[in-house]
Structure 1
Amino acid sequence: MGPVPRTLELFYDVLSPYSWLAFEVLCRYKNIWNISLQLQPTLIGGILRESGNQPPAMLPHKAVYLRSDLRLLSQHHQVPIHFPKDFFSVILKKGSLTAMRFLTAVKMEHPELLEKVSRELWMRVWSRDEDITEPPSILAAAEKAGMSMEQAQELLERVSTPQVKNQLKETTEAACKYGAFGLPVTVAHLQDETHMLFGSDRLELLAHLLGTSDNGTSYRGEKWMGPVPPAVNAKL
C-alpha cells in the first residue's frame, strides 16, 4: 500500500476567477500529489462581509491589474478565462447565491458530479459570458456536466430549503474560521497541522508543504510543481 492521501479543502465560489484557477490546478495535481481534494462551495459575499474586505475590482488600480493578471494566468494555466462584457452587473450586482446553493445541493446529493457542475458554471460566467443566476441557465450547466434534467430540476427546487441554505452558511463560516478574507482558500491538513493558503498564487508553497509533510524531508523528492498536466478539455 502507498502512503495515505493528504486532505485538502478548497473553498471556492464560481464568481471568483482565481478560484477557477486554483480549482483546475488542484484537480490536475490531486493524483500526482496524492491528495484527497474536498471541494467546498462557499459564498464569497459572506466572507467579504465577515472580514470587512471588498472585491479587488472596486479599487481602480486593482481593477486595471486584474484584467492583465487574469489574461496571463489564463494563458499559463490553460484555463479559458474571458471577462464578461458587463462586468459590474454580472459579478457585483447579480452575484452567485443561487448558483452556490445549487452546488451545495449537488455536493449533498450527487458529490460525484460536483467537480463537473462547478466547472460548467465557471465556463458559463467566465468563459462564455452567460448567465448563472436564472434557473434555466443553472439547469443547462448541470445537464452539460452530465446530470439528468430530472436530477437537476430536483436539486434546483431544493436551493431554498433550510437544509441547503444552512449547509452553505456553515461552509462559509468554516472558511471564515480558518481566517479567510476572500477566495479561493486552500486548507491543507498535514499531520497535526492545518495550513490556510489564500489565492491561486500559493500553489508552489502548497507543493512545498506537501513535499515536507510526511517526515520533514521531501515527499518522494517532489517539492516543486513540475510540468503542468494537460488542461481539462472544456468546450467553449
Structure 2
Amino acid sequence: MGRLARIVELYYDVLSPYSWLSFEVLCRYQHVWNVDLQLRPSYIAGIMKDSGSLSAMRFLTAVCLECPEMLEKVSRELWMRIWSLNEDITEPQSILTAAEKAGMSAEQAQEILGKISTPKVKNQLKETTEAACNYGAFGLPITVAHVDSQTHMLFGSDRMELLAYLLGEKWMGPVPPAPKARL
C-alpha cells in the first residue's frame, strides 16, 4: 500500500518576488517528493493592502478556473515580465503577452481576460485570499502542507528545508536532481 496523498498548497501573488522563489522550488520538487502541488493565486493586497496586482491575480484566477493546466506557465511568465523585464503586469496587453508567451492562443487569452471582472473570478480570488488569511497569512507566499491528517502553514520562501522535514523528504537545494523513472 502506498503513501497517503500529500497535498502542498502554495498561496502566492506575482507581485511578490519571494512567492516566485517558492513557486519555482515547489514546481521542481513536486515530482521528486511525490506531492500534489496546488497553486493558489491570492491577492497580497487583501492581506497587506494596496499592492496593485489585482488584474494580474484575477487573470491567474480565471486561468485556474478555465484552464488550470496553463496556470504554472502563465504565472511564471507574469513573474518574468515584472521581475526580470521590469514590465507593467497591470496592463491588459502585458497580461495577454505573458499568456501568449506561456503557450495560450491569443483568442483563449483574450477570452480569459474578458472574465476577470466576472463575479465568479472575483469571488474565487476573494475566497482563496480569505483561505490564506484563515491559515494565518500575514504576507505571501505561504505554503500549506497537509501531511498525515495534519496541516502545517509555512510563511516565506526560505522554509523549504522545513517543508522537506514535514514531508519526510530530503532537501537537495533549490534545483533537485530529476526523479528516477519508476518501473
TM-score higher than 0.5: yes
Conserved in 1, the CA contact under 8 Å of 2:43 and 2:125?
yes
Residue 229 of structure 1 deviates from its aligned partner by 2.7
Pairing of 1:72-151 with structure 2 (within 5 A): 95-151=52-108
Name the counterpart of 1:158: 115
In structure 2, C-alpha distance between the alignment counterparts of 1:177 and 1:164, rounded to whole Å: 20
What is the distance in 2 between the residues matched to 1:207 and 1:229? Answer: 12
Counterpart residue number, 1:225:
171
What does the per-residue CA deviation read over 1:43-86, in whole Å, with 9 as the maximum and x for residues that have no partner? 0010114xxxxxxxxxxxxxxxxxxxxxxxxxxxxxxxxxxxxx
Match of 1:11 in 2: 11
> Take 1:22 and 1:159, find their aligned partners in 2: how far apart are those partners?
25
Query: Which of 163, 169, 182 is the matching residue for 1:206?
Result: 163
> What is the CA distance between 1:144 and its match in structure 2?
0.3
- Aligned partner of 2:128 in structure 1 is 171
The residue aligned with 2:180 is none
The alignment's C-alpha RMSD in Å is 1.6
Q: Residues of 1 paired with 2:76 and 2:176: CA distance?
A: 17
Residue 24 of structure 2 is matched in structure 1 by 24
The secondary structure found in structure 2 opposite 1:131 is coil
Residue aligned with 1:225, SS: coil
Query: What is the CA–CA distance in structure 1 between the aligned matches of 2:111 and 2:88, rounded to whole Å?
Result: 20
Where does the alignment leave 5 or more consecutive residues of structure 1 unmatched?
A: 50-91, 212-221, 231-236
Aligned residues with identical type, % of pairs: 73
* Partner secondary structure for residue 136 of structure 2: coil
Stretches (4+) displaced over 4 A: none
Task: Determine the structure 2 residue equivalent to 1:59.
Answer: none
Residue 44 of structure 1 aligns with an amino acid whose one-letter code is: I
Could you report, residue by residue, the CA deviation over 1:97-134 in whole angstroms, capped at 9, with x for unpaired residues? 00000000000000000000000000000011111011
Q: How many residues align?
A: 177
CA shift for structure 1 position 226? 1.6
Aligned to 1:46: 46
What SS does the corresponding residue of 2:14 show, helix, strand or coil?
Answer: coil
- With normalisation by structure 1, the TM-score equals 0.72
Q: Which has the larger radius of gyration?
A: 1
